[in-house]
Amino acid sequence: MRVISQIRLSLILCLVVLAGCQRLAGEIPDQSSSQKDRSTLIATQAAPVVADAGERSWPLFRGDALATGVATATLPTDLSLLWKFEVKDGAFEGTAAIEGGIAYIGDLDGTVYALDLKSGEKKWDYKTEAGFIASPAIREGLLYIGDYDGRFYCLEAASGKLRWGYDTGAEIDSCANFYKGNVLVGSQDATLYCLDAKTGGLVWKLMIDDQIRCSPTIVEDRVFLAGCDGKLHIVDLNDGKDVAQVEIGGPTGVTPAVVGDFVYFGTEGGEFLCINWREASVAWTFTGKNGPSYRSSAAASPEQVIVGSRAKRVHSLNPKNGDELWTFATKQRIDSSPVIVGDRVYVGSVDGRLYGLNRNSGEKEWEYEAKGGFTGSPAVVDGKLVIASDDGVVYCFGEKKE
């Protein structure tokens, strides 16, 4: 079943037509102090409404509702392997959700696992006939995840008991996100679904012109979708209507990261974009060497934007103008999404290595070589980093106490 799911995914990805994105010359102006204050207020207000993110929680694919990929927890300088959980003939492409000392993750063969964060011991599992490419999301004791047959599940986090299920029309690659009492998830049937988080009842749905692979990113009462239709959709969360669309020049499946008024993501056409979402306009674009496609979602902060590319590079960009601050070369492509933790950024590669890079210089400061490659991304809580590989192993790193 794992092989079938991987072939299916590869075939679909190969059908994506590469296209160039329009470039916008010049730099975006510095934010005024009032804009900075407003941006800080947005970030402060948005996250508590939709997710209980913090040092002990990683509830969503990118850590928070804004998909910033920035951890609030710290990690020891010298990470040690604390435990690993192995699934025979298994494979993981998703990122763990962590809350209450439990890490949750879905396998390509169709099992959701709940693992004790301290020991790696399995607490429960939930088996289905279809596999999971999507990352789980957790809120208020309920776990949400979609499979590649298009079914979206709500499980009780404590027991793995099914609370409800909802059928979409195609494969779900998207991690869910939350707004008020609703849960949102995208599907390859080109539809974003807004469901009642407790019952699974449909609140509204929005159909675009092509597949949705990205996770929905939420700020204020807006949700952002970077679609395979070559557009960034800015959608009103209250009624599910498009507020604005921005042409991005090519399809994409990566999750947009938001810092203040700006949205950051790359495309299959090899462009990385910064979009002012309030003005619905492209602020700048960046094209890496050889014009690689992007399947890595960016980690974004006010100081820098960091993203991996399929040209075997990690790029650090100036968020104001897209200038490259540094680049780091890996041995294989990077589909894993980086996570900023203090003065370091951690990212996995298909070469089977997890890298810890100096955030300011891009120099390698730490490395772990695994047997399998990494498509999934790190989750960081309480002094621990969790990441899973495509050969069925979940790894937990932290400080090994004597």
CATH code where residue 322 lies: 2.130.10.10
pLDDT given at position 183? 98
Structural domain includes residue 25: no
pLDDT band at residue 217, thresholds of 50, 70 and 90? very high
Per-residue pLDDT, averaged over 5-26, amounts to 36
Q: Phi/psi of residue 182, each to 5°?
A: -115, 155
Per-residue pLDDT, averaged over 299-312, amounts to 96
In the predicted structure, residue 237 carries a pLDDT above the cut 90:
yes
Structural domain includes residue 132: yes
In the predicted structure, residue 396 carries a pLDDT above the cut 70:
yes
pLDDT given at position 44? 36
Structural domain includes residue 268: yes
Q: Count of alpha carbons within 13 Å of 332, Cβ hemisphere only?
A: 14
| Residue 202 near residue 195, CB atoms below 8 Å | yes
Q: H or E element: which one contains 5?
A: helix 2-14
Structural domain includes residue 264: yes
pTM given for the model: 0.87
Structural domain includes residue 28: no
pLDDT given at position 121? 98
pLDDT given at position 21? 35
DSSP 3-state of 33: helix
Domains: count for the chain: 1
Per-residue pLDDT, averaged over 317-331, amounts to 96
What is the residue-averaged pLDDT of the chain? 88
DSSP 3-state of 308: strand
Report pLDDT digits (tens) over 170-207.
999 999 999 999 999 999 999 999 999 999 999 999 99
Query: Could you tell me the sign of the dihedral formed by the alpha carbons of 273, 232, 57, 38, in that order?
Result: positive
Report pLDDT digits (tens) over 16-56.
333 333 333 333 333 333 333 333 333 333 333 333 446 88
Parent domain of 155: 2-8+34-398
Pairing of strands 379-381, 364-369: unpaired
In the predicted structure, residue 87 carries a pLDDT above the cut 90:
yes
| Residue 256 near residue 294, CB atoms below 8 Å | no
Per-residue pLDDT, averaged over 96-122, amounts to 97
User: Lowest-confidence range among 39-53, 180-194, 211-225, 258-272?
Assistant: 39-53
In the predicted structure, residue 167 carries a pLDDT above the cut 90:
yes
Structural domain includes residue 15: no
| Residue 243 near residue 200, CB atoms below 8 Å | no
The two three-digit tokens of residue 360, written as one number: 């300011």
Per-residue pLDDT, averaged over 139-148, amounts to 97
Per-residue pLDDT, averaged over 363-387, amounts to 96
